[in-house]
Structure 1
Amino acid sequence: MTRIQLVISDVDGTLVTTDKRLTDRARDAVARLEASGVGFTLTSSRPPVGMRMYSDPLGITLPLGPFNGSSILTPTLEVIEQHLIPEAAVTTSIALFERNGIDIWLFTNDNWYIRRDDGKYVPHEENTIQFAPTKLDDLTPLAGKACKIVGVSADFALLRRCEPELQAALGGGALAVRSQDYYLDVTPPGHSKGTFVQAMAKRLGVAADAIATIGDMQNDLPMFGVSGLPIAMGNATDDVKRQAAHVTGRNDDDGFAAAIDFILDRNARLDR
């Protein structure tokens, strides 16, 4: 086994509770992790503005990976690296979502656009990222600025069926993956939470085997595949758990803090 030197965590369903709280145990766990000399940062499907509410109180000093890791920003949200969805992929995604009656959101680096404001999940997302959307009837003029497109539906089975269909239609033009049961994300091609982990490893000079990753959804699997210690939350689906080396507790039961305890105990055994 290799001593863990860096931990990269997902946010929703992982770091925070279902009602988006950062618990005292989670704060304490990150403080103890960094006191032991282990680095910590976050990657999420969230836009940059939706990550700072947690990175600031945790005192994170390493780069963040918003938009499923397709962008890399400083903790003060200055862009280090950013990739956009090709316009053809934007058009393909919007068309498929429209055919299936799925709500469409489009995120640029600094804004969030919706076509209707009566959707069930608009208030939920606004509360989650603490940022209000801009309503536009036509999103196509923004096709050249899209960092992420989200298909939104309360029909979880519909999004599950659309995920492989959309990925097939996009080919290598973009990545389509669910970040929640109700969100199907489209992000730039060739970039994922996995490439964010690899970029952080290179930036910090840390071997992949010395990185632990924590997550709960399909969009976390790319980082599981390139890290030495992938940890699934107890609330993760079975297919995500099967790709993990360890399964911790649920996010509403301080499973994140328990995962950090597991990492620290593992390091302590190796240090003896």
Structure 2
Amino acid sequence: MPPIALVVSDVDGTLLTRDKTLTDRARDAARRLHEAGTAFTITSSRPAIGMRFLVEPLQISLPVGPFNGSSIVDPDMTPVEQTLIPTRAAQRALEVLNQFGVDIWLFTNDTWLTRNPDGDYVPNEKRAIRADPTIIEDFSPYLSNACKIVGSSRDFELLVRCEGAMREALGDQALAVRSQSYYLDITPPGRDKGTFVTATAKRLGIPLAAVATIGDMHNDVAMFKVSGLSIAMGNASDEVKGYAKEVTTSNEDEGFANAIDAILSQNAKG
């Protein structure tokens, strides 16, 4: 395997701790990547507005990939490429989520919309993306601008069943994948974290064999499949770990920083 020239990291459950903290070691690991001449960026199920606060401490100069990589935005959050969920698919997704009785959110490029400000995971999302939702009564006027639709529930098994039903209902019209055990993301078709990694490597003229990816959830598998080195977090499920070439420690035990240490050490050996 060639030396790693680009590292792409997931955010929640990977780069950040459980309480959404960027540790000093994680920040220092990113700095050392830059100093070693290794490119670095992030991709996440988060909306663009929820990634802005990481750009400066991580010294990110490359585009980042919000909405599970279905959008590509510059570090100042200006869209470079943006793909939307087809309107009919967005409507069908809402129908399925309503059938399962889960809380529903819709994200446009710069707005988080919900009908239920008291939803179980609203406080969690507010803390994570550092933004407040816009409360609406009807999603219909926004369906043509949907970057991501989310179903959230404390019933994790219900959400697994909802994911299966959603994939059957949508077919190839949109992508449905859990980004957390309590979040089911519906995003545009043909775009995922793997396509983001591929686009970033192409932008830099780097072969995919020289790319390392780090993640913890099902939505990270797409980038594991295209990268030369894939590293699962210790807190990932056994299923997700099975798709990765290596496993680091958990996000509560500096797994991201430890993964970067291993990458830099291997690169130094040549």
TM-score (norm 2): 0.99
SS in 2 for 1:213: strand
**Match of residue 144 from structure 2:** 144
- Name the CA distance, whole Å, in 2 between partners of 1:163 and 1:193: 18
Matching of residues 20-35 of structure 1 within 5 Å: 20-35=20-35
Q: Does 1:228 align with 2:200?
A: no
**Match of residue 130 from structure 2:** 130
SS in 1 for 2:40: strand
**Match of residue 240 from structure 1:** 240
Q: Does 1:119 align with 2:95?
A: no
**Match of residue 90 from structure 1:** 90
- 1:151 Cα shift? 0.4
- 1:141 Cα shift? 1.2
**Match of residue 105 from structure 1:** 105
2:171 is matched by which residue type in structure 1? G
Give ranges in structure 1 of 5+ residues lacking alignment: none
- 1:59 Cα shift? 1.1
- Name the CA distance, whole Å, in 2 between partners of 1:167 and 1:21: 33
- 1:160 Cα shift? 1.0
The one-character-per-residue Cα deviations of 1:11-64 (angstroms, maximum 9, x if unpaired) are 000000000000000011111111111000000000001001112211100000
- Name the CA distance, whole Å, in 1 between partners of 2:157 and 2:262: 34
SS in 2 for 1:81: strand
1:53 is matched by which residue type in structure 2? F
Larger % of helix: which? 1
**Match of residue 10 from structure 1:** 10
- Name the CA distance, whole Å, in 2 between partners of 1:160 and 1:86: 23
- Name the CA distance, whole Å, in 1 between partners of 2:6 and 2:126: 31
SS in 1 for 2:266: helix
1:173 is matched by which residue type in structure 2? Q
- 1:268 Cα shift? 1.2
The one-character-per-residue Cα deviations of 1:173-220 (angstroms, maximum 9, x if unpaired) are 000000000000000000000000010011110000000000000000
2:80 is matched by which residue type in structure 1? I
Deviating 4+ runs (over 2 angstroms): none
- Name the CA distance, whole Å, in 2 between partners of 1:69 and 1:217: 14
**Match of residue 182 from structure 1:** 182
**Match of residue 61 from structure 1:** 61
1:36 is matched by which residue type in structure 2? A
- Name the CA distance, whole Å, in 1 between partners of 2:246 and 2:138: 45
**Match of residue 218 from structure 2:** 218
Q: Does 1:259 align with 2:259?
A: yes
SS in 1 for 2:166: helix
Give identity over the alignment, percent: 59
**Match of residue 207 from structure 2:** 207
SS in 1 for 2:4: coil
**Match of residue 76 from structure 1:** 76
- Name the CA distance, whole Å, in 2 between partners of 1:102 and 1:56: 35
- Name the CA distance, whole Å, in 1 between partners of 2:216 and 2:55: 19
SS in 2 for 1:236: coil
SS in 1 for 2:160: helix
RMSD (CA atoms) = 0.6
TM-score (norm 1): 0.98
- Name the CA distance, whole Å, in 1 between partners of 2:95 and 2:180: 21
- Name the CA distance, whole Å, in 1 between partners of 2:103 and 2:255: 32
The one-character-per-residue Cα deviations of 1:117-147 (angstroms, maximum 9, x if unpaired) are 1111001101110100011111011110000
Give ranges in structure 2 of 5+ residues lacking alignment: none
- Name the CA distance, whole Å, in 2 between partners of 1:239 and 1:262: 23
SS in 1 for 2:22: coil
